[in-house]
Amino acid sequence: MVEKKTKNQKRIGVFVCHCGINIAGTVKIDEVLRRLKDYPSIAVVKDHQYCCSDPGQNLIKETIVKEKLDGVVVACCSPTLHEPTFRKAAASTGINPYLCEIANIREQCSWVTEDKDKATEKAVKIIKTMVKKVQYDEPLTPISVPITKRAMVIGAGVAGIQAALDIANAGYETILVEKNPSIGGHMAQLSETFPTLDCSQCILTPKMVEVKQHPNIKLFSYSEVKGVSGYVGNFKVKVKKKTRYILPTKCNGCGDCAIACPVSVINEFDAGLSKRKAVYRPFPQAVPNIFTIEKKGISPCRVACPAGVNAHGYVALIAAGKYQEALDLERQANPFASVCGRVCNHPCESNCNRNQVDKPIAICSLKRFIADYELKKGRQLPPPVEKVKFDKVAIIGGGPAGLACAYFLAKKGYPVTIFEALPELGGMLITGIPEFRLPRPAIKADIDYILAHGIDVKTNQTLGKDFTIEDLFNRGYKAVFLATGASKGLKLGVPGENLSGVYQVLDFLRFVNLKTKDLTTEVNGKRVAVIGGGNAAVDAARTALRLGAKEVSIIYRRSRREMPANEWEIEEAEKEGVKIVYLSGPTKILGKDNKVIGIECQKMELGPPDATGRRMPIPIPKSEFTVETDIVILAVSQAPDTSLFPDLEKTRWGAIVVNPDNMMTSQEGIFAGGDLVSGPATVIEAVAAGRKAAEGIEMYLEGEELKPAEKPNPEIAQFTPEEYALFKKEPRAEMPKIPLTERKSFKEVELGFSEEEAKREAQRCLNCSVCCECMECVKACEAEAIDHNLKDESEEFEIGSLVLATGYEVLDKKILGPYGNGKYPDVIDGLQFERILSASGPTSGEVRRPSDGKVPKRVVFVQCAGSRDPENYMPYCSKVCCMYTAKHALLYKHRVHDGEAIIFYIDVRTGGKGFEEFYKRATDEGVIYIRGKVSKIFEQNGKVTVWGADTLTGKKVELDCDMVVLATAMVPTPQTKTLATILKTALDEQGWLVEAHPKLRPVETMTAGFYLAGAGQGPKDIPEAVAQASAAASKVVALFSQKELQHAPIIAGVDDDLCSGCGLCVGVCPYQARELELKEDGKTKKIKVVEVLCEGCGACSAACPSGAAQQKNLTDEQIQAMVKAGLEE
């Protein structure tokens, strides 16, 4: 150990550098030497013209030895330049390098004044302060840090690929992370490359394959970096591996899934010029060569359906012409395709995202189409399901809830028996809904389908009369499902309800629907008034019209907005001639000779909302009026008849109480659902209840523990307002209907879509969630590689160094207002033209314009579209556009021999090997260059018109052409910003990654261990990106070639005696280098310093209230002494 000398014993040598005339031109060196000669501790003062030169360093070394110096001050330039130089020189003589300090008398001294006296005075003071510092300096040893010799490269475009290959070839393990499903970046999209016209893919794909096959490269495609911690040589990086829903080990890339997939969306790889499927591979040469299923949450139509029908799925399948598959998918959640296709209240449509564009998809009518289509084609009913279970289930009530429950249980193999009081099945479907809305054959179609699964039916069996629930259990049924509905009509509670001519709506409808009582003579030619505003009221009104009523009116106490009946049914009723009297409540039914002659009503106004959210009607005093009528139909509301279930727990309003998780009532083994539980509700809600009960019964019978009902919180797929604005408006298919003149019979009003209409309507679907989960791909995949239940995964890697190769995007032409905001199909960007030129592109390399596929005979190219335009867009030059535009024009002329290529330019910049020659070639081959900017581009009558200026002739230019190619600016990818935040690395004003020094450290960042490659750092072409990538790789390799890393020892420690454990320094430390830990006593706390993490910034020293946090060789005492020395006269 070096013997420690106290501060006054140190012998310090001062070496004053002239730095040519940089210092000596202003600072009077002689005077400095003279004034320092006798300063305490200074043993020797010398000067040299260039201390950093070999003779200069030798002078220092020799003097140290000869004068037996303990410390050195070199008065010269900034320590960032030569501190390492002089410390190394000093160390070579045996003294501790941290006892060699720099007194900077150049940057802030000699350079900033011409006053020699003042400069000299300041130089002396600076040197004195540094002498004081050395007096207090202690010998330090650098901290050794191990290196994890594994690299990570983020971004696998050509730069990332090159960097990864170079590092891997040097023998180090490399993790390559790419956000897209395939590596290759933008270069894979390009056609040919300038100036040699090499095929881009041909030169790139071998490198991509090399990446895949390289033993040292671990590729994580479709993955993103989510977090980074640690320090150079020892980073921890968290990577999120997005699931492809496809097992990479099994997928063989055959593409059968994509053929089966019904969903088509915009193909980003073709820059939006073509479509791809929801399961896709960006391009055939993709690496890895596996497919990916894209999902963006769940489509709102699916979430809205009470029964969980996959509406998006069957709509997508209809769009693809797969009608049977669509129907099969629909029936997985709802066996009533034919019924619900006609009478569903379709909440799916109200929630359809297409509402934000124009009108929702006609989902309900599409369902009807597939049901009708199956019948029309002639169907074969499914064979009965084998009874693999033995526990018998009894279902009481053959309405939609009972039938649905039976269907789902039968599919599971349970023996199921339905007990129905009426002579036929259907419940409210046959008794309550008139035939002009829901014809009998449509109901029969669904019931036949359900029963085909193997269900016993016992009709004319009334509970309480023919059997009891107890009987059923005695007969060996293990579970009973009650679905007896809600058919008890409620009374109004006004005088006159018992008069002849007053009907309960369900009685009225049942008489007509089941033809059990002929009402024709009673209604024909009469006036009918229906009281109520629900679907039953509207159905009754329309039925009365068909029975020949002279006049039909609906009396409703609130306004149209609150009317619970379906809006479209109300509209039809009005068209057919039903009058609706709003805001009127009956107070008395008037009679004469026990026969109805009218209704006395009172006018209402709307008050505050009630419990249902609808505004409450409030009677207006003295506003009575009379409606003359012969028949009154009461359609106020219905309630379940629960008198048969005295032992079951009921709600206050008389419905059966069930456990919402399994639909079991208060008695074990007895389940209930449908209107009996919910009160009057819709068919689809009854189906949902039946299905849930079936699941509950299964859990009960299998003795499974009751699972609480899943309350999924699905991420509902949505678009941004900007995205909505991009969708083209397309009219919703109109349902064909029979003319009003034919509405006197009970013929079905709606006729259904033709195949063509259905397909076109289904194709309006926006595919909100992309994948519709129809599972067609699963069926198609022979390799069994698809699993829709896979989840994203996260993995953490320990790495030593990181290369950022995040690349670029082209500026979105939607923001270029004067050039049409992206609304003209034949105004495309450079990347789109690359795809058009590419042999693997949407036109197979033929130049055809997007709007109509014509070969464009005149193409205008606009350079600097968004570049070099500081007022409006990007201030910088995008560097590659001049060359690729020349290439575009040339390739266009090669493909279209009689075509005319005109380029608008500001300057043509051809700095690069072979670039100017290439530009010359373009002009020689007839490409026309016009120097000037383009002010406006618009499309009219199939022509694109360009307004611009020719600044060489000073004339305005107006050109008609067939297509315009905009050389849009290069901009950083949006992920660059996210990543920079995660990595805490700097971005410039435009969002490009910032290098450590623009000239001397172009591939390094300010964070040690992070390097830059490619266009993420700024616009550049392929050779430049590749060169930078190799440079970054060599930096990584140089780092890894060291045994261990040295960390500067100028760190802040802690004086345990002074530390009170307040923890203030923990919060201010930007490097997480300070931690609070318990002292040995187990009670009080103290600070622990993680030395390798400390960067010596001094934040803790400033924050520490007790002075316990002291930075090595920059202690408070030391700094005070230095300040004093600086202030000495």
Partner 1 sequence: MRYPYYPGCTLYTKAKNLDRCARQSAQILGFELQELETWNCCGAIYSTVTDDLAAQVGPIRNLVQARKMGNSLVTLCAACYNVLLRSHNFLFAPGNEKTRKRLLEFLEEPYDENMKVLHYLEVLKNDIGWDKIKVKVKKNLKGLKVAPYYGCLLLRPAEELKFDDPDNPKVMDELMATLGAEPIDFPFKGECCGGYILVNAPDIALKCSKTILDSIIAAGAECVITSCPLCQYNIDNQQKLIREKSPGFKKIPVFYFTQLLGLALGLEGEILALDNHYVDPKPLLIQKGLING
Given its phi and psi angles, is residue 443 left (phi above 0), alpha (psi -120 to 50 degrees) or beta? alpha
CA distance 764 to 60: 83
Packing angle, helices 158-169 and 200-213, rounded to 10: 40
Residue whose C-alpha is closest to residue 992's, from 1024, 1016, 1021, 1014:
1016
Rounded to a whole number of angstroms, the minimum distance from the CB of residue 937 to partner 1 is 9
* Closer to partner 1 by Cβ: residue 559 or 821: 821
* Closer to partner 1 by Cβ: residue 461 or 821: 821
Total number of residues that touch partner 1 (CB under 8 A):
10
Do 967 and 831 form a contact (C-beta atoms < 8 A)?
A: no
Rounded to a whole number of angstroms, the minimum distance from the CB of residue 212 to partner 1 is 45
* Closer to partner 1 by Cβ: residue 583 or 1059: 583
- Contact between 6 and partner 1 (CB under 8 A)? no
Rounded to a whole number of angstroms, the minimum distance from the CB of residue 964 to partner 1 is 13
* Closer to partner 1 by Cβ: residue 945 or 975: 945
DSSP states of 501-519 as a string?
TEEEHHHHHHHHHTTSS--
Rounded to a whole number of angstroms, the minimum distance from the CB of residue 729 to partner 1 is 10
* Closer to partner 1 by Cβ: residue 874 or 1121: 874
- Contact between 869 and partner 1 (CB under 8 A)? no
CA distance 892 to 774: 43
> Site for partner 1 (CB under 8 A): which residue of 6, 870, 940, 1043?
940
How much is the CA Rg of the chain, to the nearest whole Å? 42
- Contact between 720 and partner 1 (CB under 8 A)? no
- Contact between 818 and partner 1 (CB under 8 A)? yes
CA distance 412 to 402: 16
- Contact between 825 and partner 1 (CB under 8 A)? no
* Closer to partner 1 by Cβ: residue 511 or 938: 938
User: Stretches 149-157, 311-319, 886-894, 934-942: which one binds partner 1 (CB under 8 A)?
Assistant: 934-942
The H or E element containing residue 150 is: strand 150-154
**What helix, strand, coil percent values describe the chain, rounded to 5?**
35, 25, 45
CA distance 601 to 620: 11
| Start-to-end C-alpha separation, the chain | 38
The 3 state secondary structure assigned to 933-998 is CEEEEEEECCEEEEEEEECCCCEEEEEEECEEEEEECEEECHHHHHHHHHHCCCECCCCCECCCEC
Q: Which of residues 224-253 bind partner 1 (CB under 8 A)?
A: none
Rounded to a whole number of angstroms, the minimum distance from the CB of residue 579 to partner 1 is 22
Rounded to a whole number of angstroms, the minimum distance from the CB of residue 903 to partner 1 is 23
Neighbours of 518 (CB within 10 A): 11
* Closer to partner 1 by Cβ: residue 268 or 571: 571
- Contact between 875 and partner 1 (CB under 8 A)? no
> Site for partner 1 (CB under 8 A): which residue of 424, 497, 939, 1091?
939
> Site for partner 1 (CB under 8 A): which residue of 707, 936, 955, 977?
936
User: Stretches 158-166, 212-220, 730-738, 812-820: which one binds partner 1 (CB under 8 A)?
Assistant: 812-820
- Contact between 731 and partner 1 (CB under 8 A)? no
- Contact between 285 and partner 1 (CB under 8 A)? no
**Coil vs helix vs strand at 1039:** helix
Rounded to a whole number of angstroms, the minimum distance from the CB of residue 881 to partner 1 is 22
Rounded to a whole number of angstroms, the minimum distance from the CB of residue 817 to partner 1 is 3
* Closer to partner 1 by Cβ: residue 949 or 1008: 949
**Coil vs helix vs strand at 1011:** strand
Residue whose C-alpha is closest to residue 565's, from 540, 600, 535, 539:
535
Rounded to a whole number of angstroms, the minimum distance from the CB of residue 742 to partner 1 is 27
- Contact between 941 and partner 1 (CB under 8 A)? yes
DSSP states of 177-245 as a string?
E-SSSSS-GGGGG-SEETTTTEEHHHHHHHHHHHHHH-TTEEEE-SEEEEEEEEETTEEEEEEEE---S
- Work out whether strand 793-799 and strand 143-146 pair parallel, antiparallel, or are unpaired: unpaired
* Closer to partner 1 by Cβ: residue 920 or 936: 936
- Contact between 817 and partner 1 (CB under 8 A)? yes
User: Stretches 599-607, 676-684, 931-939, 1101-1109: which one binds partner 1 (CB under 8 A)?
Assistant: 931-939
- Contact between 355 and partner 1 (CB under 8 A)? no
Rounded to a whole number of angstroms, the minimum distance from the CB of residue 939 to partner 1 is 7
- Contact between 938 and partner 1 (CB under 8 A)? yes
- Contact between 821 and partner 1 (CB under 8 A)? yes
- Contact between 560 and partner 1 (CB under 8 A)? no
- Contact between 275 and partner 1 (CB under 8 A)? no
The H or E element containing residue 81 is: helix 79-92
Residue whose C-alpha is closest to residue 404's, from 363, 440, 447, 362:
447
Rounded to a whole number of angstroms, the minimum distance from the CB of residue 816 to partner 1 is 8
Residue whose C-alpha is closest to residue 467's, from 404, 394, 540, 388:
394
* Closer to partner 1 by Cβ: residue 945 or 978: 945
The 3 state secondary structure assigned to 293-354 is ECECCECHHHHHCCCCCCHHHHHHHHHCCCHHHHHHHHHHHCCCHHHHHHHCCCHHHHCCHH
User: Stretches 24-32, 77-85, 936-944, 1041-1049: which one binds partner 1 (CB under 8 A)?
Assistant: 936-944
* Binding interface with partner 1 (CB under 8 A): 817-818, 820-821, 936, 938-941, 945
